[in-house]
Amino acid sequence: MSAPATGPLRPDLMDPRTLAALGRLEVISRWLVDGVLNGLHRSPKKGFSVEFAEHRAYQPGDDLRLMDWKVAARADKWLIKQYEEETNLRATIVLDVSKSMDWASAPTLLTKRQYAEQVVAALSLLLLRQRDAVGLIRFDDQIRSAIKPASRQLQFTRLVAALGESGGGPASDAGSALRQAAQAVKRRGMVVLVSDLLLDPQDVDDAVRVLRAQGHDVAVLHILDPAERSFELGVGESLFVDTEGGESLAATPAEVREAYVETVAEAMAEWRARLSASGAVYEPILTTEPFGVPLRRAFARRQRLP
Amino acid sequence: MNFLTPWALLLSVAAAVPLLLHLLRRRTGDRVEFPALRYLLRAEREHAREVRLRNLLLLLVRIAMVLAVAGALARPVGPFPGVGHPPTALAIVLDNSASSAAVVGGSTILEAEKRAARDVLAAASDADRLSLVTMDGEVRSGSPDALRTALDALRPMDGAGDLAAALRRAEAAVAAAALPESRVVVLSDGQRSALAATVADSGSVPRSLYVVPGARPANRGIASVRLEPPYWNPRGALRAQLIGDSVAWRVEVAGRSVARGRSTDGVVLARVQDLPRGWHAGSVELDADDYRGDDRRYFAVHVGDAPGLTADAASPFLREAVATLVTSSRARAGGQVFIGSALRARRPAVLFAPADPLEITAANRALARAGVPWQFGLKRQGPAPLRGASVDGATATQWFSLTPLDGARADTIARVGSDAWAVAGEDYVLVASAADAGATDLTVRAAFVPWIDLLVSERLGAAEGRALEVAAAARVTVPTGVDALEFPDGESRPVAATAQIAAPSVAGVYFWRRGAARVGAIVVNAEARESELAMMPADSVAAALDAPRGESTPESLARAAFAAGGRRALDTPLLLLALVLVVAESWLARRGHAARSAD
């Protein structure tokens, strides 16, 4: 998708390839976050000071320090002040950097990993600007790197540096990564899994259930190359080889496209159903979609946090 | 089916290409890394049957596509059912012979044929060239509306007509249209007596046949009418042969009923007298039945005074013959008509050759003096049978060859072998044998006197001209001296003497006229075979008319007239088929694209 022909450019709505060509990851992320924040009607930021929320009737045993004495003096009503809890979110982003993520269906497209890193960087920056704590766990068949959640300004630099590290293992062990994320987030927080979900669903599901049981908000961003969705590969009869498992299958895209598309749709529906049942949010994202889309979704979810 | 460019069929070998690709495709192709292979495996596993079916369909469609293109390039020409038809030259031969007037299933056979013809015309297009040919040989061409109008006006003719001639005219009509497709549609009553012999080879023009179904009615009718004698002087009798017995009949002459009765033996015998002198039209009529075509039969009779005859005193046979005719009031004694030897030739006369060959020269001189344009020639010896009206069964033992002079116009009324034995010209009859038993035994046979009576009545008597019974629409030569033909309604139409004309197709009596005088007649009646209504088996009718088969309904006939037998170039339909197959191939190959886009 390209930016509108008129008006100021919104980085979050720019074509990912165009935006990626502009510069380093952290620069891109700042642009993106600025775009997202500019596009919102209302800031979701809250909780940096003690803010009054509502009154309720006094119940015996309530802390008298919370009594609204002014109302009691004025109206002879005993009301207890309730305040919104000042909560800095602790988020951990779990990024799949397995070999399957290092794939793009065309040279002109970002690989799923490149796209995911842009999303992770932008999301991290967005959270940090809200003074939330953000951590990162990168995994393939093992944990490649783990940065505990922190809200310091240096945290973004560390995250960006970590995103530049290697990966590309032959498999994905999302379960252990998610479990490690649960350990990293002691308090209730948010865990965002960014992956192409070429994983063992049961493994992921088990881990998500554990996270949800611990009270964490879980979101799964399913990164998809467009060709993985449509099987539009522009090739004829070919031998298709799995990038991780080494399995292969001879097929003609034109002949199996319909069945493939149906299968992918079914798989995505299964992921959505499975994760919804576990209380997690599932969002499929194509690597050709503007970055703003996942950020906006993530931010909207942040607003819904308790 | 024919191919205009049959070599293009070689391209159909290309149909093997998709098949080979299909068989070999598992061995070809590049290696492509694809991380979502698990979905592909699952799709292959879950949709294997569907994928195989679609692959098979794709294979078949691609092969059919190649074959359709190769077929189109070969430019086939053949039958092509469906909408429309190529411009067609179509002639409808409608059997409106007399038998088509028979009532079958509440309406006449002709009406059923008309309905079938209208169905055929309804299937015609403006590009077709249409003709309607009837049994009288008339060809009507024009638009469907014009032919429908012609059908409305069409009536059964009073004769059998000529089906073979009608078919030839129909083929000529479609040939003249010069269209690539042509067809002759034959609508027939399937009458066995009319189709007993194979009618005609269809040649290059295909035929479609429809025979009006339904049981034919039982029929009573008049097979023939004979006047005894042919000319009434002035008395006479009429004998009619009937089909069926116990039939009431009535004889009418000159517009008045002269006899009536009921026949129980299939014969009508009516004696008539006291008729006014002159030519009269008459008819014998029966009570109506389901086939009216033969319930009335016409005749023409001349009523006049008995001719006066003078017999040659030298011949006892001739003297006795004339005496017998006078006694029976068939002639008067002492009239101007001479019955005798050519040695004493004069006119009018019945002249016999001399018995002695030495007298031939004298006889020829006498003939020349009398203005008879014939001469006796070489003597011939028999015995040899005689052939001709009223002389069959007799023989000639001696005769002389008859040689015409320049300008001689005469009818040969009897033959002996290949020679003329008796010729009749204007007011003379010349016989090649002498009137004695040594030259011919006719003189001693019972037929001799009636034969003399016939010659005198028809050729030399008081009657002027002859009555000739002909079939409807038959070719007739106009007699010498005739200038008009008088129709039953009294109207006279001019004719050229000695020309050939078509007899009217409506039964009746038509008089030849010379000025105001009637000088003979032609009598039009349906042929006796038209009274036999029995049908021929359907297969036999088709064989007789050289048609592949008979259509069972007017609707199937209409389809066959333009579609089933129609041939047209099939390259365009095949190209359209190929186009449809291309679309189908594209749809099959890219099915699911829309669903994916919608996601």
Walking along chain B (599 residues) 10 residues at a time, the average pLDDT comes out as 74 78 64 85 77 79 87 75 72 92 90 93 87 90 92 89 88 85 90 74 82 88 85 83 83 89 87 85 90 89 83 87 85 84 89 91 92 90 86 89 82 86 88 90 86 80 71 86 90 88 90 88 88 87 85 86 63 86 81 40
| Closest among A109, A95, A124 to A30, alpha carbons compared | A124
Helix (H) or strand (E) holding B238, with range, is strand B236-243
Q: What pLDDT is attached to residue B157?
A: 87
DSSP strand E in B62-164: where?
Answer: 76-79, 88-94, 103-104, 107-108, 129-134, 139-142
How many A/B residue pairs have CB atoms within 8 Å?
127
In order, the DSSP letters of B369-418 are: HHT--EEEEEEEEEEEEEEETTTTT-EEEEEEEEEEPTT---EEEEEETT
| Chain B residues near residue A251 by CB distance under 8 angstroms | 40, 44
Cβ atoms B236, B301 nearer than 8 A: yes
Cβ separation of B32 and A240 shorter than 8 Å? yes
Beta bridge partners of B338: B310, B349
Q: What is the pLDDT of residue B565?
A: 47
Examine the pLDDT at A28 and tell me if it is beyond 70: no
The whole-chain average pLDDT of chain A stands at: 75
From B57, which residue of chain A is nearest by alpha-carbon distance? A255
**φ/ψ of residue B564, rounded to 5:** -60, -40
Residues B423, B342 contacting (CB under 8 angstroms): no
CA distance B244 to B242: 6
Alpha carbon separation from A96 to A117, B88, B312, B381 (Å, rounded): 10, 77, 147, 135
What local confidence, expressed as pLDDT, does residue A86 receive?
45
pLDDT tens-place string over residues A145-154: 888 888 887 8
Residue with structure tokens 């006197």? B449
- Chain B residue numbers touching A265 (CB-CB < 8 A): 599
Q: Which H or E run contains A181? A: helix A174-184
pLDDT at B599: 36
Residue whose structure tokens are 């320090």: A65
Q: Average of pLDDT values for A12-30?
A: 58
pLDDT number for residue A40:
43
Reported residue count of chain B is 599
Find the CB nearest B38 among A198, A233, A255: A198
- Does position A38 have pLDDT exceeding 60, yes or no? no
Q: What is the pLDDT of residues A164-183, one digit of tens each?
A: 877 676 666 777 777 777 77
Q: Tell me the three-class secondary structure of B553-569, residue by residue.
A: CHHHHHHHHHHHCCEEE
**Residue A272: predicted pLDDT:** 92
**Could you tell me what percent of chain A has a pLDDT over 90?**
7
Beta bridge partners of B282: B253, B299
Q: State CA A199 to chain mean position distance.
A: 17
Cα(A305)–Cα(A85) distance, integer angstroms: 12
| Residue B37 to residue A249, Cβ atoms within 8 A | yes
**B318, B340 Cβ separation under 8 angstroms:** yes
Name the phi and psi angles at A222, rounded to 5: -90, 105
Q: What is the maximal distance between C-alpha atoms in chain A?
A: 84
Residue of chain A with shortest Cα separation from B591: A258
> Residue A50 above 50 pLDDT?
no
User: Which structure tokens are listed for B329?
Assistant: 């009031």
Are the CB atoms for B590 and B58 separated by under 8 Å? no
The CA distance from B359 to B379, in Å, is 12
Across the interface, whether the CB atoms of A228 and B31 are under 8 A apart is answered no
Distance from CA of A81 to the nearest CA of B (A): 49
Token pair of A8 as six digits: 């100021």
